[in-house]
Amino acid sequence: MSDVVSDDERAAIARVAASDRLLVALDFDGTLAPLEDEPMDARMLPAARAALDALVAAPGTIVALVSGRSLSDLRIIAEHVDDSPLFLAGSHGAEFWIPGQGVASHDDEPGDERLRDELRAHAETATAGLEGVWIEPKRFGFGVHTRKSTPADAAEANRLVDAMVAAEAPHWRRRTGHNIVEYAFRHEGKDSAIAELRERTDASAVLFAGDDVTDEDALESLGADDLGVHVGNRPTAASLCVPDIEALAAVLSVIAGERASARE
């Protein structure tokens, strides 16, 4: 880890590693798993999986995945089984998986799902002639993927769907990410996901790591005893930046090791 962080950053890592009860909450795509042209092909890198396993085994440590993916899709790509010790927050914190309990979600308003289905169908029709554009169904809305389209087609797809949602559902929340624009009738964000997970787990400190614009809500919500980590090199509210998934896995492994040795 010496090539990744400064002395000040190392001190911040040591401080959070010494927390009494630590919640490690992690974005998935781009943070633990490389971004893929086919989103459902995403899987954790072996180094990331090993780091999570070590954290789960460390005393007083809770691990959660916090993603914009629907809970059902997140369970598939994370290879999450029913007896997993990992907490999950899907759909930016609108639905959860609680170990030993299962799915926990908040109630929707009447008509939300009907409007979701109508807008999703309209988006598919509007973008049907644009090569490489894909409309992803989501539990609380849909996403417009443009990773495999030309810049011109991506811009046109986003223009068409933006106009449609503004006209038909101006109250919906809009989020941007890596080659995707998401629309949802639920307004939870990763900041509210972290707050709910902190309360559910009675954590004394939180480490949150992410790579995308949608992770900034969570990073900005962290307190003085927490640690925010950004994977990549764009401007961020995180106090620690690492260049890639392997570097994050190295940081997480150090934290797991320090927590395990401190309790021996």
In a domain, 1, yes or no: no
Give the whole-angstrom CA distance, residue 188 versus residue 114. Answer: 20
Res 5: pLDDT = 62
192 in the same domain as 179: no
Res 109: pLDDT = 72
Question: Above 60 in pLDDT, residue 1?
Answer: no
Question: How many percent of the chain have pLDDT more than 70?
Answer: 96
Give the whole-angstrom CA distance, residue 55 versus residue 47. Answer: 12
In a domain, 2, yes or no: no
Res 50: pLDDT = 98
CATH number at 131 reads: 3.90.1070
**Domain termination residue (choose one: 162, 184, 206):** 184
- Cα separations in angstroms, 152 against 1, 13, 132, 133, 139: 41, 43, 11, 11, 28
Give the whole-angstrom CA distance, residue 137 versus residue 144. Answer: 9
Token pair of 213 as six digits: 């614009």
Res 263: pLDDT = 63
Give the whole-angstrom CA distance, residue 134 versus residue 62. Answer: 35
Please provide residue 56's backbone torsions phi and psi, each rounded to the nearest 5 degrees. Answer: -60, -35
In a domain, 81, yes or no: yes
Q: In terms of Cα–Cα distance, which of 33, 39, 10 is closest to 179?
A: 39
Q: What sign for the dihedral angle of Cα 191, 197, 198, 199? A: positive
Res 2: pLDDT = 46
User: Is 252:24 a contact under the CB 8 Å cutoff?
Assistant: yes
Q: What is the pLDDT of residues 174-201, one digit of tens each?
A: 998 889 999 999 888 999 999 999 999 9
**Domain termination residue (choose one: 141, 169, 184):** 184
CATH number at 20 reads: 3.40.50.1000
Question: Above 90 in pLDDT, residue 108?
Answer: no
171 in the same domain as 137: yes
211 in the same domain as 148: no
Question: Above 70 in pLDDT, residue 170?
Answer: yes
Res 264: pLDDT = 55
User: Is 182:143 a contact under the CB 8 Å cutoff?
Assistant: yes
Give the whole-angstrom CA distance, residue 10 versus residue 157. Answer: 44
Mean pLDDT of 39-59: 97
In a domain, 235, yes or no: yes
Question: Above 50 in pLDDT, residue 159?
Answer: yes
Question: Above 70 in pLDDT, residue 205?
Answer: yes
Give the whole-angstrom CA distance, residue 95 versus residue 88. Answer: 8
* Domain residue limits at 160: 112-184
39 in the same domain as 27: yes
Please provide residue 222's backbone torsions phi and psi, each rounded to the nearest 5 degrees. Answer: -70, 150
Fill in the amino acid letter for 259: R
247 in the same domain as 152: no
Question: Above 90 in pLDDT, residue 218?
Answer: yes
254 in the same domain as 203: yes
Q: What is the pLDDT of residues 116-137, one digit of tens each?
A: 999 999 999 999 999 999 999 9
Token pair of 43 as six digits: 């899987």
In a domain, 53, yes or no: yes
What's the pTM? 0.81
Mean pLDDT of 99-111: 83
Res 139: pLDDT = 85
Give the whole-angstrom CA distance, residue 193 versus residue 98. Answer: 13
User: Is 13:2 a contact under the CB 8 Å cutoff?
Assistant: no
Domain count, the chain: 2
User: Is 132:153 a contact under the CB 8 Å cutoff?
Assistant: yes
Token pair of 143 as six digits: 């996403």
